[in-house]
Amino acid sequence: MAYQEKQLQDISRHFQIYGEIQHAETFKIGHINETYSATYDQGGTRVRYIHQKINKGVFKNPVAVMRNVMRVTTHIRRKLEASNAPDLTRRSLIVIPTRDGKSHYVGRDGEFWRTFLFVEGTQTFEAVQTPTQAFQAGRAFGEFQSLLADLPGGRLHETIPAFHDTRRRFMALQQAIHKDHYNRARNARPEIEFALGRASIVGVILDAMAKGKIPERITHNDTKFNNVMLDSATGKAMCVVDLDTVMPGCALYDFGDMIRTTTSPTLEDERDLAKVKMQIPTFKKLAEGYLSTAGNFLNNTEKSLMAFSGKLITFEIGIRFLTDFLSGDNYFRIHRPDHNLDRCRTQFKLVESIEQQERAMQKFVDGL
């Protein structure tokens, strides 16, 4: 543990938690923030909380991040209460305020801490195991977008500016190819040709947004399946977590990343490319789930680009891996030589698989 229990005890005293901490341990959720689960004795009942230190290296403005989180969680809870939804305390994250009523605590070392109520009776999965789970993922993120469609109070803060600017990502790749500081371009010729040959797709959604055909919406921006908590008994989606990247964006980017992370059974760095394939049955359930909750607010242009969005976002992640490989592996953590190139190849193989099935995918969406 990066922090010992005594340090966590000291931090916990700054939050409105009444009871004695009995046990704390690191909690594996996400790759950015430092997270712990802590068990407290409250009048003879064991209650768990999540203590989390915000990564200031990634999120340069933690105060704005927490302002977003509070606005989003408060609004979702009000909407759920208004609809008499069951299991309210498990349907949206609950931020535990500090003793002085703030959303976060800043330690003497300048680190930002926050606390959530632990969502009991749920589990997460690193990868989709069944089409039914894909349906639940789509339904959960679609509902999340739908609940926030009428968020009052002005625009949310952009916690990571230009996060899905595909044109900027493509330009960064072109610069990395041109500079080739590490003399690696020769080892990635097929991948470079693959990327440059698809320059025409990078601005499709950006241009549609610039022309007003696609509206800016409040989006999650990290729609991996492990950010959906499923009820341990029923398997139904209960709560969407990891809200630090919730900000203004495009609904299609969220859906596209769902396609990327749920429809292929392989890991992100699979070396056996024969295993990498976009599975139509999983895609169909994902689209059904998503449109069951998001279909009421998406416009026709958004719906017409749903299959395309999976190709675009997978391509975007692929060129980010390729850029990092050419630039000396400075951004993504690697565990072996050519790791980022392997990741790139996996993404590009999935792009090819989506391209081969894109017409059938969109035809299915159009029929829903």
Domain 5-120: assigned CATH number = 3.30.200.20
SS3 105: strand
**Span 20-43, average pLDDT:** 82
**CA 154 vs CA 69, 71, 166, 206, 244: distances in Å:** 14, 11, 25, 22, 18
253 and 219 Cβ atoms separated by less than 8 Å: yes
Give the 3-state secondary structure of residue 12: helix
Q: How far apart are CA 346 and CA 39, in angstroms?
A: 40
pLDDT score recorded for residue 20: 84
| CATH architecture type of domain 131-366 | Alpha-Beta Complex (3.90)
- Give dist(CA 311, CA 367) in Å, integer: 20
3-state secondary structure of 103: coil
Asked if 114 and 103 count as a contact pair (C-beta separation under 8 A), the reply is: yes
Q: What confidence tens digit (pLDDT) does each residue in 331-356 have? A: 888 899 999 999 999 999 999 999 99
In the block, residue with structure tokens 């950006």: 206
| Average pLDDT rounded to a whole number, residues 171-196 | 98
| Band of residue 361 on the pLDDT scale cut at 50, 70, 90 | very high
Q: In a 3-state reduction of DSSP, which class is residue 230?
A: strand
Check residue 29 and give its pLDDT: 60
Query: How much is the pLDDT for 28?
Result: 67
User: Is the pLDDT score of 1 beyond 80?
Assistant: no
Q: Given this model, what pLDDT does residue 179 score?
A: 97
CA 216/CA 151 separation, integer angstroms: 13
Which is more confidently placed, 328 or 10?
Answer: 328
pLDDT at residue 168 is higher than 60: yes
pLDDT at 180 over 80: yes
How many CA atoms lie less than 13 Å away from 142 in the CB half-sphere?
A: 22
Domain residue spans of the chain: 5-120, 131-366
Mean pLDDT value across residues 152-176: 95
In b/e form, how buried is each residue of 236-263, taking b as 16+ CB within 10 angstroms? ebbbbbbbbbbbebbbbbbbbbbbbbbb
Query: Residue 191: pLDDT band by 50, 70, 90 thresholds?
Result: very high
Q: Residue 48, Cβ neighbours under 10 Å: how many? A: 17
pLDDT in tens, 305-337: 999 999 999 999 999 999 999 999 988 888 999
Amino acid 57: pLDDT: 85
Is a pLDDT exceeding 60 seen at residue 103? yes
Whole-number pLDDT of residue 6: 78
Q: What pLDDT score was predicted for residue 3?
A: 61
> Span 123-139, mean pLDDT?
93
- Residue 152 gets the label, from left (phi > 0), alpha (psi -120 to 50) or beta, of beta
Give per-residue pLDDT as tens, 273-295. Answer: 999 999 999 999 999 999 999 99
